Structure 1
Amino acid sequence: MEDKIWALGERFAMAAIDGNEWLGALRAMAELTGSTYGQLIGFAPGEVPFNWINDLSQEEIACFVEQERGDPNINVRVRASLSDQPFVIRSEADYRAVGRGSGFDLYREMCDAYDIMDGCQTKLLEGGGRFVGLALNRSRKDGRTDAETRELFAAIAPHVGRAVKMQIALESRGTALLNGALEYVGLPIFVCDEAGNLKAETTEASALLSAGRFRVMDGKIGLPHPRDDAALLKALARRHRQPLGFETLLLGSAGKQMPMVVDICRLPSQPGRLSLASQILVIVRSGRRWHDAAPAVLRMAYGLSAAEAEVALALGRGETRDQIAAARDTSAQTVKTQIKSIFSKLGVSREMELMTMLGDMLRR
């Protein structure tokens, strides 16, 4: 289940980069939790700026909102979470506990008519009298939420919260933020300015922070090694001055840990915006893109020859020396000599150490 939650988190990260994906991500969340509808909604005093629910028409949603407008004296769900901090989970028992009255009775009648009486919800973020909420809306067939469903929803919510922050950080771009941007969906992505001030990050980027591959100090993104840290900050400054194109760095090599391949690009400024700060994406390659970069990384970072890089990757995949020799149409002695050179350059002494070191490269 943890893998499914992480995959869903990356789907919401996709939604932050391509706004057309939110409804699909909400539908996937609903399906994973055994619910009919997923909902992402914004509340501001006297209005509902957006209300996205999978598989309900905009006309149905607009009609619903027109009658309740997020008023906490009508909408029991708003009332139930009104004084909460983000990520407090509320559900059916809380809806019943807010009290009864003509306004609340109207809301319940509306929910009954739309078959969304049950569910659970949480705030994702708030400020200035506004907040963004996430919810599961369940039909009569779905039934009420149970403890397991609410626990699963609670595990999903922080991933969606990060995606919402990413969307806000990039909202001026709309959909298709950059040519080829969708290629990076599912990867660790940090959003920062030219000084390294961190604005948002994807789920996998948060995992890099937790693992210590990146760090944040005083709100600024950085790396543990001073040389890498300086290289990153210089690259961010260059992207600020040179807005077109990507810059690729090898960062974070430490001991028997492979370096990270990091692509850095600047989001173009938007007409009508007065902000002087740049928005820069720091995209850490993983999966297929990391695997495709592996031969170049081994050559650039460790001085392996092209042949040695191919042998190292084959050995890391678990191929035997005889298999490698046959595939390369060379002798076992040649492969043995190449492996000795590879071990020396990478600082390992056994094939298992090599496989561990190359793990990220070999994980598609």
Structure 2
Amino acid sequence: MERAAIDNATTNVAEDLLAFVGDIYQASYQPEHWNVVISELCRRLGAKSGGIHVEDYHQNTRYMMACYGLPKVTELSYRLGVAKYDPVYQIQSQRPIGKASMVSRHDEARLTHPLYYRLIVKPNDLGYVAAISFFNDEHWHVGIGVHRSFNAQPFGEAELQLLDQLAPHFQRALLIQRQLHLQESKAQTLEYALSKVMLGTVIVDQDNTIRYRNDLADRLLDCHPALVQTQQGFKAYYPDDDERLREMLQRLRKAPDGEGWPRDQAVGLRHPDRSHPLTVIGVPCHETPHSRFGPAEPGLVALYLSDPSASFNASAEQLIQTFGLTRREAGIAIALTNGLDLKEISAQKGVSLATVRTQLKSIFHKLGVNKQQDVIRILLASGIGNAPH
């Protein structure tokens, strides 16, 4: 009995977090929903306030995309230039992408950055700041900062680990939002935008018949056993997962105008041979343009599929042909994209660290970049290696 209670509690926690992930993806299509996401994130982290900050390198601007718990005057002042006095931007830019950390303490900021302390920290009671960067390339620097009061305790490892865990979902949602913004500016179709999103994308109709799949969705459905294609459309491996998936679709279709969407728009589909569930995020398609998956009609739902256990699995030959890398350079680029640092690559390849650095410089030259994160960005954005194992 006690074991069952523990299992139920664990399941409830996992489903609650998965529901929050659904909120994150909803914000990619409803930018105003980012404020809801930030407020919920602050609640989970025990933060008094927080915000998504953006540095747009093309427009040379800094602003808050969304915030919670901060006075409106603070958001406005950031847009008017006060952000240039905030050292958190520079501190974050020096931290690894997707890795949360404490970046400011009021007692230290008072001594090291007195102007920042006087203009921002003290007036807004930002005693402790934890932050994480999602992107930092030639286009933009995007991250989240969350704050606690002078009288509170600093953020602990549990809070920082939660930010790390959520980072891939924020990154994907922000990429979706950016792609859709480009779509609007270039008058592209929804189908084209979806083909550029590095998530498996499936459009299903009122009868749960698949009307459209992008290439990555095809590969996921072919390779991940938690969700299989049938003559009726699809079916989850476990009956209770299948029931939860279809209940989610029914709930999404009850909000034809997008109002009052349920928070639990996500489900995790399990399989005994996989250590991580296949993540399925559902979003109603309220205004779907004509495309090869049909004209706008009631009941269409977009399902976004993601396999957390999938790695970048391009072959060396693909990178050799595409980017002109040598076989050894391709191996280093693949290892780097899968999260290994230079020391780990050195040990894995059985070569010296100096040799790895020399080969990395050659990779930089051939890709026209000068940062490791740019190598990762280019390889992931290329679409090569997106197929799951």
Structure index of larger Rg: 1
TM, length-normalised to structure 2? 0.46
TM, length-normalised to structure 1? 0.49
